[in-house]
């Protein structure tokens, strides 16, 4: 069994659920926040957010230099085809990162099957509850729908234009324009 921070924290009496009417990009009151809301909160506390962004990009970039060829190999083995410039294989990854007080970024784990669940589920594990719109977590809905839209759009791009990521809001936050 794999317990995530969220699976434990959501049961806390101190867990602050973000309301559906909140602006998920700027609300700094909820326990679960978007990266941009976290950056806003950190900047208000005087933290060098640009340094964090650079360190996240550098750390994730180094991991992808290692992980990328492994993904390519595994996907080509599963599909029995050799990757080439016309390949449309991809995988969504989730990075669990820790930022220390010196703003160094540490990789806790890379999830090769991150959750795409958008529901704020506070039921005990093993119980079954039928979800409705009131159970949707606005943060997850925003982040995960943006991720899926950007992933599908990126998969549809031609090889020649794949480096042009101006129209991918999700991708540009993780890998800022201009970095290698």
Does 151 reside within a domain? yes
Residue 10 inside a domain? The answer is no
Fill in the DSSP letter of residue 91.
-
- Residue 135 — pLDDT band, cuts 50, 70, 90? confident
More confident residue, 11 or 144: 144
* Residue 51 placed within a domain: yes
Does the residue 84 lie in any domain? yes
Between 112 and 163, name the one with better pLDDT.
112
Domain of 131 in residue numbering reads as 28-159+166-174
pLDDT value of residue 174: 45
In a domain, 1, yes or no: no
Read off the pTM: 0.74
Q: What does the alpha-carbon distance between residue 172 and residue 167 come to, in Å, rounded to a whole number?
A: 9
At residue 103, the pLDDT reads 97
Environment class of residue 113 by beta-carbon count within 10 Å: exposed (0-12), middle (13-18) or buried (19+)? Answer: exposed
Checking if the pLDDT of 125 tops 60, the result is no
Is 37 contained in some domain? yes
Instruction: Give 41's Cβ-side CA count (13 Å radius).
Output: 15
Whether 140 is covered by a domain: the verdict is: yes
Domain count, the chain: 1
What mean pLDDT is reported for the chain?
78
Percentage, residues of the chain above pLDDT 70: 73
pLDDT on residue 47: 97
Please state the φ and ψ torsions of residue 106, each to the nearest 5 degrees.
Answer: -120, 135
Q: Write out pLDDT tens, residues 78-89.
A: 777 665 555 666
**Structure-block tokens of residue 147:** 């991720």
Q: Which helix (H) or strand (E) holds 105?
A: strand 105-111
The answer to whether position 74 is within a domain reads yes
Q: Give per-residue pLDDT as tens, 19-68.
A: 776 788 888 787 888 888 889 999 999 999 999 999 999 999 999 888 87
Lowest mean pLDDT among 32-41, 148-157, 158-167: 158-167
Task: Please determine, for residue 75, whether its predicted confidence score (pLDDT) is greater than 80.
Answer: no
21 vs 92, which has greater pLDDT? 92
Question: How does residue 144 score in pLDDT terms, banded at 50, 70 and 90?
Answer: very high
Higher pLDDT, 123 or 62: 62
């Amino acid at each position: 069994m794999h317990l995530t921070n969220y699976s434990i924290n959501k049961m806390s009496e101190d867990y602050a659920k973000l309301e559906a009417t909140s602006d998920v990009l700027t609300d700094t009151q909820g326990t679960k926040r978007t990266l941009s809301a976290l950056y806003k909160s950190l900047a208000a506390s005087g933290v060098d957010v640009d340094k964090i962004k650079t360190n996240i990009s550098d750390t994730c970039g180094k991991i992808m230099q290692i992980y990328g060829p492994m993904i390519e190999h595994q996907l080509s083995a599963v599909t029995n085809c050799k990757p080439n410039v016309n390949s449309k294989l991809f995988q969504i990854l989730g990075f669990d990162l820790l930022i220390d007080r010196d703003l160094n970024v540490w990789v806790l784990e890379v999830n090769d099957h991150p959750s795409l669940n958008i529901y704020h589920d506070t039921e005990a594990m093993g119980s079954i509850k039928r979800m409705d719109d009131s159970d949707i977590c606005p943060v997850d809905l925003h982040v995960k729908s943006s991720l899926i839209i950007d992933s599908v759009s990126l998969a549809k791009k031609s090889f020649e234009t794949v480096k042009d990521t101006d129209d991918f809001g999700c991708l540009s936050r993780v890998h800022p324009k201009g970095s290698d």
